[in-house]
Structure 1
């Protein structure tokens, strides 16, 4: 009976690719295989002093910084980010994290990462949205890379306005001093991979990263699913 019900649901309520909208095949999960192969990958994990790292030069001491995809307005990557953040497709974050983890798996630098931390959102926003999309990205990365993750080590203590229509200086003012490390002993003397969905000016990651680097012996790397450069 369950098999029949699933078959009827697939026939009349097919799942669609979050990138292109095409109906998914049985073994496809949130993203169709043609989209997975044709997404605009940056390959920044293969480049030293890459364009993502240069965003933070003079602002944040990083071991490395990468992004998986180029963000393109009205393109497949924007569709993915919209579905992840605003349409309740939180499992898509796990899929994207796992996909990125498969790219990074053989990268030697990741053997030195001790802990993955998702950039937190304020409790009010989390209550409204129902989840923090970066938690699920971190989960996907963690499962693929076999590196532990914790969504509770850092908190966002001030509810800030949306960053969408702000310039770089306004974005920095909007997030400065809004993050606080609450599990210091779990972070001290460790190499942290800070994870977020989209990198634009880097203000949010910079503010959160500085709090982590204030702790004794910490090292910091950054990974995001998309970057707007």
Structure 2
């Protein structure tokens, strides 16, 4: 009882805010308010067959990807951009974990958990990781791992070079920027594995394509892709 009263008092003085709309959260809400949970622009791509999935089409003829998934549509100056900004630039790694758990519940309900053996986040270069303090893709992978009850690690893929930002690059420039950046640390550990590669945002798909190509070349049985949002 006293703890509940204290929590209510703290909530009045220092209200917890929804990371999507910035409105105060009420008791029982974490990270996202009920309104945003209901109104976020979900893609529902996991409910579509690959031939009807617009994300899958981006990789046709370039890479044999089994599933191409994204939880939310990216909308500029909207709730999703707020969430990604908090995750990537404001130290709110719990946003990635929470969204991973929420999306995992959707993938479980769609029967997709059985299609993956291992979850691998797109790695940051050690220099960038040290500066930010965490990898936002790894936070998402952690949440997916908990919800899907699948292993994940940050040791499978290694980023050899600290590439320039992909912002304002076209697809060809993005591919040239990352084409030879990723390598597999221990090929024996992924041979025959069905790997789900995850990142925060899918735009042209160049980074995810480079990661998937490295994994397939190292002996992965198949690769699928998943992101928090897609542009």
TM-score of the aligned structures, taking structure 1 as reference length: 0.95
SS of 2:155's partner is coil
* 1:40 matches 2:41: yes
Q: Supply the RMSD in Å over aligned alpha carbons.
A: 1.4
Listed as ranges, the matches of 1:202-217 within 5 Å are: 202-217=205-220
Q: 1:150 offset after TM fit, Å?
A: 0.8
What SS class does the counterpart of residue 73 from structure 1 fall into?
Answer: coil
The answer to whether 1:114 aligns with 2:117 is yes
Q: Matches of residues 14-163 of structure 1 in structure 2 within 5 Å?
A: 14-48=15-49, 49=51, 50-163=53-166
Q: Secondary structure at the match of 2:176?
A: helix
Rounded to whole Å, the distance in 2 between the matches of 1:31 and 1:13 is: 16
Distance 1:218 1:71 in 2: 30
Kindly tell me the number of residue pairs found equivalent between the two proteins. 228
CA distance in 2, matches of 1:126, 1:37: 33
- Structure 2 unaligned segments of length 5 or more: list them: none
- 2:184 matched to which residue of 1? 181
Distance in 2 of aligned mates of 1:2 and 1:110: 39
Against the structure 1 CA distance between its residues 207 and 34, is the aligned structure 2 distance closer, same or farther, given a 3 Å change threshold?
same
Q: With structure 2 as the length reference, what TM-score do the two structures score?
A: 0.94
Using a 3 Å threshold, how does the CA distance of structure 1 residues 31 and 217 change in structure 2: closer, same or farther?
closer
Does 1:200 pair with 2:203? yes
Q: How far 1:216 moved relative to its partner?
A: 2.4
Alignment partners' CA distance in 1, 2:218 and 2:72: 31
CA distance in 2, matches of 1:128, 1:179: 20
Task: Note if 1:9 corresponds to 2:13.
Answer: no
**1:204-224 Cα shifts (integer Å, max 9, x gaps):** 001111000002252101111
